[in-house]
Structure 1
Amino acid sequence: MDKLPFLPLLAAALGSCAFDAPPRPANEAGIASLDVRRGPAASQALDAIAADYLRLTLEIGTHEDGYIDAYYGPPELQKAAEAAPRDKDELLAATRDLMARTDAAARRLSDPLGRRRAAFLRAQLRAAEARLMMMQGTRFAFADEAERLFGVRPRLKPLETYDAELARIEALVPGEGPLATRVEAYLDRFTIPKERLQKVFDVAIARCRGRSAAHIPMPAGESFRLEFVTGKSWSGYNYYQGGYHSLIQVNIDLPIRLSRALDLGCHEGYPGHHLLNMKLEEGLAKGRGWSEFSVYPLYSPQSLIAEGSANYGIDLAFPGTSKADTERDVLMPIAGIPVPSDDRYWQLLSAIKRASGARLTIAQQYLDGAIDRTTAVALTRKYLLVSSERADQSVRFTEQYRSYVINYGLGETIVRAYVERGKPSRDEMWRRMAKIVSEPTLPSDLLGR
């Protein structure tokens, strides 16, 4: 779940990609409100299904390193799963049996809360079925894989639709040689010196937390630890450890630029992954005793919500010019980076972000076999405007996580559309964000289908 690929941030602008999701009842705001009414029999049926789902997920995790992104339930359950896991065929059969049980239970439910819970479990189980099939050698087309694992079917734009954005970037960074080389050279001026990384990130994350805490209550005693690491295919990762604590890692294999400080502070921290995991633990795992929320399978619709809300959280926490203002007035002096005399730097970052939807199209073409690796790297250089090293790292990310890449740009598009629907007030936007990160939310909830 909580991984962020290198620049540019995978955050496609609205309209850069389309998607389909299965129909889903919802109220006019998109997510049906939680209703505490529930019948004992229905509740017990779902509790039993959730317990079996938890065991199933922990056992699947023994067959694939990284399948479980977070677990903070009873340690003895994990130890039991690791000591005697069922084989993949047995787990696949058990997954399908649980889906049938969930369908049967859902038909007997009348309260909105129980139906939402059942729908969430059903979607997570469908993803588990697909991932088990992939573990056994099944290969789906990119769009089919994304739909089965993450609950939406991407319909991506052709690469040439981003050429107009490249032309605008060309005007911002004129000169000789490849455009990607010129862009990289310009952005390198804004690299944070290694000896100042800790201070810059400490201040950036504190700013992200302050803006989020003003709208979404934090559990008492919440905390995180920040580490700088190497040898990863991602630039940032949140390892949620339960008890309202996270380990946030930042990869320093390649130079870290100033724009990453607030991006990673919001995405991995507040109102991103750290906050989402805390609110799910606080309100659902502990508050309602829903055991299914004590485990986090990476390849599931939960990840689209997590990555999409984490990406959108950057703009929510720093709307308008406030991100640029914070970088200019607060972070650049700490980093020892000369403050530019104009706003070309921020114009360039915005243009690069608008072109970043190309990342998903490249991934689709590569994974579907339409292009080879060399072409994928070259296209990544061209459209994401990065060095050969960053382009190679981007493709390695795709090779490792496959269709997971949709969760960033497409996830942000879906979350943004839901939060900003109807031009709400800032307070209402934060209220909608709080619902997303505190409830059993599916992509179809946000789409209002």
Structure 2
Amino acid sequence: MRFRMLSALVLTSALLACATRGAAPTPQPPTASPMKTPSPLDPAAEQYVKLVLAVGQHDGNYVDAYYGPEAWAAEAKAAQVPLPEIGEQAAALVKTVEAVPVPAEPLLAMRRRFLLTQLSALAARVRMLSGEKLKFDEESQALYDARAPHHTAAQFEEVLAGLDRLVPGPGPLAERLERYRQGFVIPKDKLDVVCRAAIDESRRRTLKHVTLPAHETFTLEFVTGKPWGGYNWFKGNATSLIQINTDLPLFIWRAIDLAAHEGYPGHHVYNALLEQHLVRERGWVEFTVYPLFSPMSLIAEGSANYGIEVAFPDAGAYARDVLFPLAGLDPKLADDYVRVEELSGKLSYASNEAARGYLDGTLSREAARDWLVKYGLMSPERATQRLAFIDTYRAYVINYNLGRDLVAGYMEKQVGSGATPERHWEVFRELLSSPALPADLR
């Protein structure tokens, strides 16, 4: 799936390979800065964390990361608070937070708004778990505080026409593209070296502009049997487990995407910065937990996708000069391949339309798969995997493309024209270190 995180992990026989950059330090419970000033929001923040953990007892995907006090997690597991009671507690907590005057300091005001927005999404998730049915757009608004634009088939036709001219061979475009891409698959015996090279390069580039804790680290694993392509499980103490799914062949272009999105400056960096600046320095315990189905995910996924461009403005050249030789692929074919992949990326919203129609009942499963094949240019196997993702995560799909576009628009407004690369990194770093939500990007 995404490109994300979690607290507890079970390793299975799906593990194909494992590589680690140093021994991972033992996660430590977050501690507040000795200079921390108590806030009237602190008790509400603690209650919020406990409510998220309580919802997690009813939804195994809900708590994506948690590194707060172990006693709170144990308490949630023992209590098994019923959904109606969670909903009542959430409504009462909203009133408590609303009663706190809006702080004059902008960051503190953002904190108050963060708690209210996250609680609204939590309440919506509780209603869904209790049986309430929402349309795709209603769900995305309720959970992620955003609605993706609608696209017609005609809006994808121009991109398809451009690809039709680029992709060689006979037959339908989706079949031709799949055949073409098969020439750029990373051999299984090269997966570790190629993916590690891309992650190490994205890390090197990021650390030139972003200060992370000296002990930050990650573990890299290759797995199978998942509905997603890559995942970041953040474990606290600036430590991540990055998993890459090898159910389907991995194309060379994906190595850059996964490295930047899952690692640097994507999910690993986002979570490490929140932990450092908001949890450890300010003692804001609400950031020790990450509820997946919440507005945080639009920021997380959107910034991770935008971060690919920040870290690799020269992605084509890097792929050609470094990754192609490592994978044993012909660098002379790289430029044409990169043009195809960059143009294909403009079809990302086709997944939203398939998900919207499928979840709203206007497309059957077969029709949604066919839409993904025709307008998303996926192979039937990849379209089937995408539908498995949609079955599990539903409207979450908007966070990748709409999230990326909202972050890009925010960056353009904040940076202005003619800004230096360092200025881009500065604004991006500030975004990743803040309690920003979708409303702050508009």
Calculate the TM-score normalised by the size of structure 2.
0.90
Equivalent of 1:61 in 56, 63, 88: 56
Residue identity in the other structure for 1:290: W
Q: Are 1:445 and 2:440 an aligned pair?
A: yes
* Structure 1 gap ranges (5+): 5-37
Aligned partners of 2:140 and 2:398 also within 8 Å: yes
User: Partners of 2:36 and 2:215 in 1: how far apart?
Assistant: 34
Which residue is 1:47 aligned to? 42
Equivalent of 2:162 in 165, 168, 185: 168
Residue identity in the other structure for 1:285: V
Q: How does 1:326-345 map to 2 (within 5 A)?
A: 326-341=318-333, 343-345=335-337
User: Partners of 1:197 and 1:433 in 2: how far apart?
Assistant: 30
Aligned partners of 2:320 and 2:331 also within 8 Å: yes
Aligned partners of 1:356 and 1:384 also within 8 Å: yes
Moved more, 343-352 or 245-254: 343-352
User: Partners of 2:348 and 2:103 in 1: how far apart?
Assistant: 42
User: Partners of 1:154 and 1:184 in 2: how far apart?
Assistant: 28
Q: Are 1:3 and 2:3 an aligned pair?
A: yes
Aligned partners of 1:2 and 1:239 also within 8 Å: no
Aligned partners of 2:232 and 2:241 also within 8 Å: yes
User: Partners of 2:116 and 2:73 in 1: how far apart?
Assistant: 22
1:385-442 residue CA offsets vs partner (Å, 9 max, x unmatched): 1211001111111111001000000000001111122223211111111111111011
Q: Which has the higher contact order (CA 8 A, sep 6+)?
A: 1
User: Partners of 2:71 and 2:348 in 1: how far apart?
Assistant: 44
Q: How does 1:3-152 map to 2 (within 5 A)?
A: 3=3, 43-105=38-100, 107=101, 109-152=103-146
Aligned partners of 1:124 and 1:301 also within 8 Å: yes
Q: Are 1:158 and 2:152 an aligned pair?
A: yes
Moved more, 338-347 or 271-280: 338-347
Residue identity in the other structure for 2:47: D
User: Partners of 1:113 and 1:171 in 2: how far apart?
Assistant: 50
Residue identity in the other structure for 1:389: E
User: Partners of 1:271 and 1:198 in 2: how far apart?
Assistant: 20
Equivalent of 1:411 in 385, 393, 403: 403
1:17-54 residue CA offsets vs partner (Å, 9 max, x unmatched): xxxxxxxxxxxxxxxxxxxxx997xx532001001101
Offset of residue 129 of structure 1: 0.4
Which residue is 1:367 aligned to? 359
For 2:242, what is the secondary structure of its paired residue? strand
User: Partners of 2:334 and 2:265 in 1: how far apart?
Assistant: 30
Aligned partners of 2:36 and 2:282 also within 8 Å: no
Q: Are 1:221 and 2:186 an aligned pair?
A: no
Residue identity in the other structure for 1:337: L
1:104-131 residue CA offsets vs partner (Å, 9 max, x unmatched): 11x3533323211100000100000000
For 1:343, what is the secondary structure of its paired residue? helix
Residue identity in the other structure for 1:270: Y
Residue identity in the other structure for 1:209: R
Which residue is 1:381 aligned to? 373
Which residue is 2:176 aligned to? 182
Equivalent of 1:353 in 300, 324, 345: 345
User: Partners of 2:272 and 2:369 in 1: how far apart?
Assistant: 37
User: Partners of 1:268 and 1:364 in 2: how far apart?
Assistant: 26
Which residue is 2:25 aligned to? none
Residue identity in the other structure for 2:438: P
Q: How does 1:219-368 map to 2 (within 5 A)?
A: 219-319=213-313, 322-341=314-333, 343-368=335-360
Offset of residue 183 of structure 1: 0.2
User: Partners of 2:339 and 2:222 in 1: how far apart?
Assistant: 29
Residue identity in the other structure for 2:270: L
1:247-270 residue CA offsets vs partner (Å, 9 max, x unmatched): 000000011110111110000000
Aligned partners of 2:218 and 2:239 also within 8 Å: yes
For 1:250, what is the secondary structure of its paired residue? strand
User: Partners of 1:347 and 1:44 in 2: how far apart?
Assistant: 52
Identity rate of aligned residues, in percent? 43
Offset of residue 176 of structure 1: 2.1
1:160-211 residue CA offsets vs partner (Å, 9 max, x unmatched): 2101110110011143211111001101101011011001111100110111
Residue identity in the other structure for 1:257: F
Residue identity in the other structure for 2:287: F
User: Partners of 1:370 and 1:160 in 2: how far apart?
Assistant: 18
User: Partners of 1:342 and 1:263 in 2: how far apart?
Assistant: 16
For 1:155, what is the secondary structure of its paired residue? coil
Offset of residue 98 of structure 1: 0.9
User: Partners of 1:75 and 1:56 in 2: how far apart?
Assistant: 15
Aligned partners of 1:280 and 1:439 also within 8 Å: yes
Residue identity in the other structure for 1:377: R
For 2:65, what is the secondary structure of its paired residue? strand
How has the CA–CA distance of structure 1 residues 279 and 108 changed in structure 2, closer, same or farther, with 3 Å as cutoff? closer
Runs of 4 or more consecutive aligned structure 1 residues displaced over 4 Å after TM superposition: none
Calculate the TM-score normalised by the size of structure 1.
0.89
Residue identity in the other structure for 2:355: A
1:200-249 residue CA offsets vs partner (Å, 9 max, x unmatched): 11110011011111111111110000000000000100000011110000
Aligned partners of 1:238 and 1:247 also within 8 Å: yes
For 2:332, what is the secondary structure of its paired residue? coil
* Structure 2 gap ranges (5+): 5-34
Aligned partners of 1:356 and 1:383 also within 8 Å: no
For 2:228, what is the secondary structure of its paired residue? coil
1:53-102 residue CA offsets vs partner (Å, 9 max, x unmatched): 01111111111101000000111111111111310000001111111111
